[in-house]
Amino acid sequence: MKMIRSLFFTIALAICCAATSYSQDVKTVKARLQEATVYFSGAQLTHSASCVLSKGENQIMIEGLSPILDVNSLKIKASNGVLVSSSEYSTQFAKDNTSDAKTKKLQDSLTFYSVQLSEINTEIAILNKTIDLLQKGTEKSVSGSTQGLSSAELLAAMNNYGEKMRNLQAQLNKSAETQKKLTETIARLQQQINEETLKNAKSTGVLKLTLSAPVAGETVFSVTYISAAARWVPFYDIVITSVDKPVRIAAQSKVSQTTGMDWEKIKLTLSTSTPSNGKTAPLFNAWFLDFEKDMVVVAYGQQRKTMQNAFSYDLAEAAPMQLQMSDEVLAEKEATMDDYIVANENELNLTYNIDLPYTIPGNGREQRIDLQTKETEAEYKYYCAPKLDTETYLLAEISDWEKLNLLSGQAQITYDGNYIGKTFINTQQTNNKLTLTLGTDKRVSVKREKMQDFSSSKFLGNDVKQEFTYRIVVRNNRNNAVKMVLKDQYPLSTQKNIEVELLTKNTTPWTANVEELGVITWEEELKAGETREYRISYSVKYPKGSKVGL
């Protein structure tokens, strides 16, 4: 019996030692983020880690990955011919003792100031009650003046009331100011405590690997995955010194991430592509057409929206685009981000490879990164559609703009050293020219008015025919000539019994006419101080008794 017990003890000890030995063989290493390729939505992160392995089977834990990742996108590479037999991803909460100590200190401060606030609230309540009692006592004394209180006694009572009230009100004001400061301090401390609490609850991604090593030695691991908790958006600084000089377009980006870790001194790449998410190219199904009135209206409205995007038309060959800086600018050129950024374009996307280490905190705040700056020739025009807006806008039209590798985004404009405002660059448009609105100029004035002498209403049998004529007066009050684009509109009819005619005999000859919209365009050069008059005239014929929105 004694021998059997001894045998059981030996076996149990062996199992325990084996388990202990096995647990000691699981090594934990910290991964370091090396690269991040940020997309408009999401990012591809690449970590590196190293570990000394023994020959044969090994198990390691790689910590420091993002807790927000697509597990299906995980790719693991190992050096020295090490084979990854299996992998398991999980998240763990990381405890920061330093942060805990800071939180306790903040909590102690919060308690201290909360006690002070409670005391000051009590003091304010007592002061308000005292003021209320003083008012009631004084009113009672004054109301009893008819019972024998002399004028001198009444005056003394009022003076006493005034002095006490001033003192009480001064104390109340002082206490209220202290109350305000304490409330602000408590709110600030509470916010700091909330932030520290989030830090304490910060999780980290952990990758457990089972490995087979042909030889013992140090192995380097590369871990790549996609995280949805990052993004970047393009925006631009557009600088125009004068209308006779090129436009300078400085491309920039705003990068933000909440991947659960700070990106410290990493290699950063910005890409315009988006991870696939299993999308497949679409195919047509049969399209069965039926009567539906709204279908025609929608189709017409879409065409109308597209046509309205054009401010002016190609009346002459545009000046060739210049992407290079002038010799004068090159001579003064200093080191910029252009020296550290390489833009690569392929069939699917455009990438900016930044040859500088970048740090992007994980708090979600946008970090501004300069990209590339280019200069291009532009044609400057003044534009007005007085039926919609009598303001005159200065436009910059850029030909061959697709060669600038622009992306859709907000742009802030500076003209002649002054900040003009913001605009939006829409690279999804189909126009030959990219039009930038630079702001309004009151020195080019436009006035539109109806000419009563040339407008009339006539009865023709069962129909009514109305004629409308409008005069547009444009004056260039600048000291230099300007190219002016002027637009106006006449109505269109989709009904057989409503007839619309543009009266060419009373309408100033135009440069372009978009008949689908009923829009005519005049585009001419106005000399300094010159005034010109334009007219548009049209008629509308419709049945008597009908109402037409004119």
171 inside domain:
yes
Residues 78/48, Cβ–Cβ less than 8 Å: no
Same domain, 214 and 244: no
What pLDDT was estimated at residue 21?
42
Backbone phi, then psi, for 509, in 5-degree steps? -50, 135
Q: For residue 522, what are its two tokens?
A: 């005049």
pLDDT at 376: 86
Contacts for 488 with CB less than 8 Å, ≥ 6 apart: 385, 386, 387, 448, 470, 472, 519, 520, 534, 536
Structure confidence at residue 297 (pLDDT): 35
Structural domain boundaries, residue 219 = 25-94+202-227
pLDDT score recorded for residue 307: 44
514 touches 312 (CB < 8 A): no
* 396 in Cβ contact with 380 (< 8 Å): yes
Whether 293 maps to a domain, the answer reads no
pLDDT of the chain, 550 residues: tens digit per residue: 455 555 444 545 444 444 444 444 788 999 999 999 999 999 999 999 999 999 999 999 999 999 989 999 999 999 999 999 999 999 887 655 556 678 888 888 889 999 999 999 998 999 888 888 877 777 776 665 555 556 676 677 677 777 888 888 888 899 999 999 999 999 998 888 877 766 665 678 999 999 999 999 999 999 999 999 999 999 999 888 887 788 888 989 999 998 988 999 999 999 988 776 556 667 777 666 555 444 333 333 334 444 444 666 554 433 333 333 334 433 444 556 566 677 776 656 778 888 888 899 988 889 998 888 888 888 889 999 999 988 999 888 888 777 787 888 888 888 878 887 888 888 777 677 888 888 888 899 999 999 888 788 888 878 888 899 999 999 999 988 999 999 999 988 888 888 889 998 889 999 888 888 889 999 999 999 999 999 999 999 888 878 777 6
Write down the pTM of the prediction: 0.60
Residue 201, pLDDT score? 58
Q: Do 222 and 151 share a domain, yes or no?
A: no
The verdict on 365 and 507 lying in the same domain is no
Model pLDDT, residue 296: 36
Among the listed residues 198, 201, 202, 204, the one whose alpha carbon sits nearest the alpha carbon of residue 66:
204
Contact 273, 46 (CB under 8 A): no
In total, how many domains does the chain have? 4
In this structure, the number of other CB atoms found within 10 A of the CB of residue 251 comes to: 25
- Has residue 10 been placed in a domain? no
Final residue belonging to a domain, choices 440, 460, 478: 440
User: Do 64 and 54 have their domain in common?
Assistant: yes
Q: Are residues 411 and 535 in the same domain?
A: no
- Same-domain status, 223 and 76: yes
Query: What is the reported pLDDT for 97?
Result: 55
Write the CA distances from 140 to 131, 132, 259, 367, 441, integer angstroms.
Answer: 14, 12, 70, 68, 70
pLDDT at position 98: 57
Residue 332 in 3-state DSSP?
helix
Domain boundary among 375, 405, 440: 440
369 with 359, same domain: the answer is yes
- pLDDT at residue 279, as a whole number: 61
